[in-house]
Amino acid sequence: MSDKIFEGKMFIFTAPSGAGKTTIVRHLLDKYNFLDFSISATTRNKRPHEQNKVDYYFMSVDEFKENVANGAFIEWEEVYENQFYGTLKSEVERIWCNNKHLVFDIDVRGAQNIKRFFGDKCMSVFVRPPSVEVLIDRLVNRNTETPESLQKRISKVRREMEYENTFDMVLVNDLLEVSFVEAEHIVETFIEGVA
């Protein structure tokens, strides 16, 4: 990466699907103008409400693999068969060129890879639901999955919950308003503490 660009801090929010990390990340991005969202690349199908280059960089499997071969990613994972997610180097550069700090909303393995790559520049936060049962209810009630993809996500939940203690902080998302305040405190403390 170029010596000329600002190298800001990074906030990694990770959780099993349905734990509320995306809602918390959106709140932080609305509140703080010094943060910007790191848009992940994915090969999964676009949901009706999503926009390319806003929610994700949507790619074909071949396009994703070509980017992998060209070294375009900081990290990437095949989360499900032929369903890839990754963080583009160009995305980090884009945000730092705008003198902003990054916020990642990524899966557990991707979060661990980002943390390993950037170390102390990152604050990694595991967003935990009050219970696995609550999480499964949230996944079912959001009605964004096919029955097959819902089953894949549910089977993955218990495995991902085992990683919660490998991150810098654990934020229990039981009452959303309380979670917002706790997330704000994490951001402000990390920016002030290391800036």
The CATH number of whichever domain residue 38 belongs to comes to: 3.40.50.300
State yes or no: pLDDT of 5 exceeds 70. Answer: no
pLDDT value at residue 195? 42
Q: Is residue 17 part of a domain?
A: yes
| Token pair listed for 98 | 């705008």
Q: Is residue 70 part of a domain?
A: yes
What kind and span of H or E run contains 101? strand 101-105
For the chain, give the mean pLDDT.
90
pLDDT value at residue 4? 53
Position with higher pLDDT, 36 vs 140: 36
Q: Is residue 110 part of a domain?
A: yes
Backbone angles phi, psi at 171, to 5 degrees: -115, 115
pLDDT value at residue 136? 80
Q: Per-residue pLDDT averaged across 76-85, rounded?
A: 90
Q: Is residue 159 part of a domain?
A: yes
Q: Is residue 2 part of a domain?
A: no
Q: Is residue 1 part of a domain?
A: no
Are 34 and 191 in contact by the 8 Å Cβ rule? The answer is yes
Q: Is residue 139 part of a domain?
A: yes
Q: Per-residue pLDDT averaged across 168-181, rounded?
A: 94
pLDDT value at residue 138? 77
Q: Per-residue pLDDT averaged across 107-116, rounded?
A: 91
Q: Are strands 122-128 and 10-14 parallel, antiparallel or unpaired?
A: parallel
Backbone angles phi, psi at 183, to 5 degrees: -65, -40
Least confident of 51-65, 99-113, 152-166: 152-166
Structural domain containing residue 50: 10-194
The total of structural domains in the chain comes to: 1
Confidence bin at 1 (pLDDT 50/70/90): very low
Q: How far apart are CA 66 and CA 124, in angstroms?
A: 29
Q: How far apart are CA 109 and CA 113, in angstroms?
A: 6
Are 186 and 125 in contact by the 8 Å Cβ rule? The answer is yes
State yes or no: pLDDT of 113 exceeds 60. Answer: yes
Are 187 and 143 in contact by the 8 Å Cβ rule? The answer is no
Q: Is residue 3 part of a domain?
A: no
In the numeric block, the tokens 């926009």 are attached to 51
| Token pair listed for 158 | 């218990």
